[in-house]
Structure 1
């Protein structure tokens, strides 16, 4: 049986992806697999609870949703507890989940509460947050993109939280933040563009400032939002992918930053700041692909 997310979208604390220098942020403590596991909790969310981010599941069920091993899920839960983003309300000690043979009790019911969450329905918000459209991640999965792309989305969304709604960051820096290989991030940017989930540009700067790189995310599965994104970015995306594919056919190495379209110049680098919060928005009917498929 396929389980669906019980919410269309959630809010994630922006500070989970802060650059803390030598200290690890929440994302780096739990890794991309822990982030994915956190999102999968929302397929097991209990409604009408004191804490709206309360879930009932088991290691066995979480293993099925993530594809991770029993031992991996167990260790990820421990990392998430250590990072102070969850509590397991009915388990006070980890050894209670180990049987006499040393195996993990994967069928035990777990009541999990997200302890570092942002209220989904409250109008009183504190701090910055990342808007996470869980429905869009289903589209990622259908396109064959792994859970690593959820982390990429969150990082780009965090640094797109500005008036221009776009992120300025080189691939090398993205890789460092996400603890991914630079060449793999290069491939990820290509795949995000190829599947019309993102549009990437290179912008030249005046006064010998070189180039800045812009990434515009698709953040919704709602038909009118998809149409608006495609109207603005489809031409750029297809030109970029055509250049990369041409090099692939010739078996030439391609750095996607070198292949991006160069757009208008600017006087100086745009300072990346988080000036506004993302609004959660209202629930709207999802008519993904009824008029245009982006795959």
Structure 2
């Protein structure tokens, strides 16, 4: 309005008359102000003041934000508070813009992704139980191998919080990668342990072979893969940096859990599960990594 008033004296007089406290904002005779605004420059007025015939229906309020998507939650919350203060007397206020739209879509998508991940975890647990029952004669061993996957998922989410990595559509979808990595590393360690026990090795001998043998191969794979993805964090794009950071966190966490947490669970399983079927010596040589 002030831009139009600067080049139209008639509208400038109407705008000044409607401003009773001198703060530059009209606070009376708004319909007259809007009429004069449209009369002075209808093209500009139609961009910010919506009307249907002679009735004014909407007003567009724009502002610039010094924030990124890591601050989306707090920004949208503050905008929503402002919209609440603007409502009343048959007025409604709606927050729009990329932040608000992204948050609204994310809320819908995250619920579906979380449900999908729960179903995926359940499917993995049942599949590993069936596979380990077929391969090693113990369904409970498959259950033990699948448990650390949930721990990896929780640690990755905690890492995202500590590093202030925002939960966006991209990062939410990448959580499925965490499940895949956790399954892969745990299967390798658990399968090697079962093979060593079948070959007649003691519990801790089998764990040592699994951690130092298979675990050593996993360490090399983790370092090369994580190092490659770490270079993405150097890209000057926030979402790509988040992508690289999550992959690195997921890989290192999955490896750490597979060689630190899973062996302890395997030792407890071997101690307390009665009549373990994988401790019988097998004359067939065990393939080595």
**Same fold, judged at TM 0.5 (above):** no
* Structure with more contact order per residue of length (Cα contacts < 8 Å, sep ≥ 6): 1
Is the helix fraction higher in 1 or 2?
2
- In the superposition, the TM-score normalised over structure 1's length comes to 0.23
